[in-house]
Each structure stands twice: as structure tokens, then as C-alpha cells.
Amino acid sequence: MRLISDDGAVVELRVTGYQIPDLAGPHDPAGDARWDANWLTVLGRVTTSNGRGWEFSDPCLMVEEAHALSGWLRTAAVGRFPGYRRREGSALTFLEPNLEFALRSRTADRAVLRVRFSYESAPEPTLRGRPVAVLVRMRPDALLRAGGEWSEEIARFPQR
């Protein structure tokens, strides 16, 4: 999935696989492996509007969370969060705090997202652990397509 901002910023996320590919899930003989079986490794490529870029690869999303992101992107595209206020609408956070998505604003022709990167997802070495936010300004229809792309991306990784 690629979120491409009008000002040149790009956030690209791709799931490369399960963190532990051979783990079967809750019925694994080693015990309740629900958590371990469902971590997804995410490859991220980020470029800020001023051209600064970095990459990361980290098991930072659970399967359930990856599916929630798909729905969140689509909801952000239409601006229909419960209690949505013009700034900092409904933020989406995850168990591992490496990624965070927030809808900053939404008009008929522009959605502004804040994507925050922390810990293993932030640029290294100086900013590990300190969040770095990238604003992505894009047309709502492009955001809706990104939600569809992400949904297709994660369809290969069912809950185990």
C-alpha cells in the first residue's frame, strides 16, 4: 500500500509474512500460541516531504490489527468516525506502538493523515524510540483505493 502526499511525502507499507511462519496457532503443541502465530512483519518505506527517507522491517502488527487498518483507511476516506472533530479525528493505535494513524482533517477534496513512526519503525539511530510524524495530504478517493490495496495485501495472511 502506498500513501502518496501532494507534497511528495510517501508512506509505503507491505506485509512480508508472519513473524514465525511455521507456528500453527492456538492448537500448537507448544501451548497457546495465538499471539506468536499472528504477528505480521511489516516492511515500511517512508519519504518525508523534504526528501528524508528510511526503511524498516519489524513484526509490529497483529493480523486483527492489519484488518482494522484496512477498515480505518476506508472510514478516513469518507470522514465518518464517531465523534469526528475537524482536527485529530479518530486515531488508530496498535499493541506495538510502532505505527499510529490519525485523520487530521477531511474536506470534499482532501484528506490529511498523520502517520507516526516509533521505536523500530522510526529512522535510526538517533530517533529510535522518539516518534516521527509524517503528514500525508491526498484525495479521499486515493485514500479509499489505498484501503483496498491494503485489504488485498493482507488477504494472504489469515488469523491462525
What are the residue boundaries of the structural domains of the chain, listed by start?
A: 2-154
CB 66, CB 40: distance < 8 Å: yes
We find that the CATH architecture of domain 2-154 is Roll (2.30)
| C-alpha of 24 from chain center | 25
CA 82 to chain CA centroid, nearest Å: 20
Cα separation, 49 vs 137, in Å, equals: 10
10 Å Cβ neighbour count for 26? Answer: 13
| pLDDT tens for each residue of 91-139 | 899 999 999 999 988 889 999 999 999 999 999 766 666 789 999 999 9
Nearest to 19 by CA among 64, 63, 71, 54: 63
The whole-number pLDDT of residue 7 equals 97
Query: Is 142's pLDDT higher than 80?
Result: yes
* Start-to-end CA span in the chain (Å): 23
With a threshold of 0.85, does the pTM exceed it? Answer: yes
Between vectors from CA 55 to CA 16 and to CA 151, what angle results, nearest 5°? 40
